[in-house]
């Protein structure tokens, strides 16, 4: 059923819950767009997330995940407090940069 809604019949489900207090740039993200804007952006993004593209991305994501785990292990072994939000922010940027621009 999820595949039916998210892949095959996605054009019937273009509008999401509207948030009263959302501001730019949040309102320009895919999950906030509505109607024709949503369809246009989704049609641009969809080819980037095909099964073949995701298979290409997997090794890059795994490399970034390995770096994250090494970083977390160093922090754990030190026994000192650290900023977990920063660690995951760096991981996120590593994934985005490696997927967008290669190694």
Range of the domain at 25: 2-48
Q: Which residue has the higher pLDDT, 47 or 32?
A: 47
pLDDT in tens, 58-93: 999 999 999 999 999 999 999 999 999 999 999 999
Residues 41 and 54 in one domain: no
Residues 62 and 87 in one domain: yes
Residues 42 and 54 in one domain: no
Residues 55 and 21 in one domain: no
Average pLDDT in the chain: 85
* Secondary structure, 3-state, the chain: CHHHHHHHCHHHCCCCCCCCCCCCCHHHCCCCCCHHHHHHHHHHHHHHHCHHHHHHHHHHHHHHHHHHHHHHHHHHHHCCCCCHHHHHHHHHHHHHHHHHHCC
Residue 12 has pLDDT above 70, yes or no: no
Residues 59 and 92 in one domain: yes
Domain count for the chain:
2
Instruction: Give the model's pLDDT for residue 86.
Output: 96
């Amino acid at each position: 059923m999820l595949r039916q809604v998210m892949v095959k019949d996605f054009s019937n489900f273009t509008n999401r819950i509207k948030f009263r207090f959302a501001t730019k740039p949040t309102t320009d993200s895919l999950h906030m767009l509505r109607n024709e804007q949503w369809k246009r952006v989704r049609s641009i993004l969809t080819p980037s997330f095909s099964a073949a593209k995701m298979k290409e991305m997997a090794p890059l994501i795994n490399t970034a995940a390995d770096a994250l785990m090494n970083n977390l292990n160093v922090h754990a072994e030190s026994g000192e407090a650290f900023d977990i939000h920063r660690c995951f922010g760096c991981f996120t940027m590593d994934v985005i940069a490696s997927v967008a621009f290669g190694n």
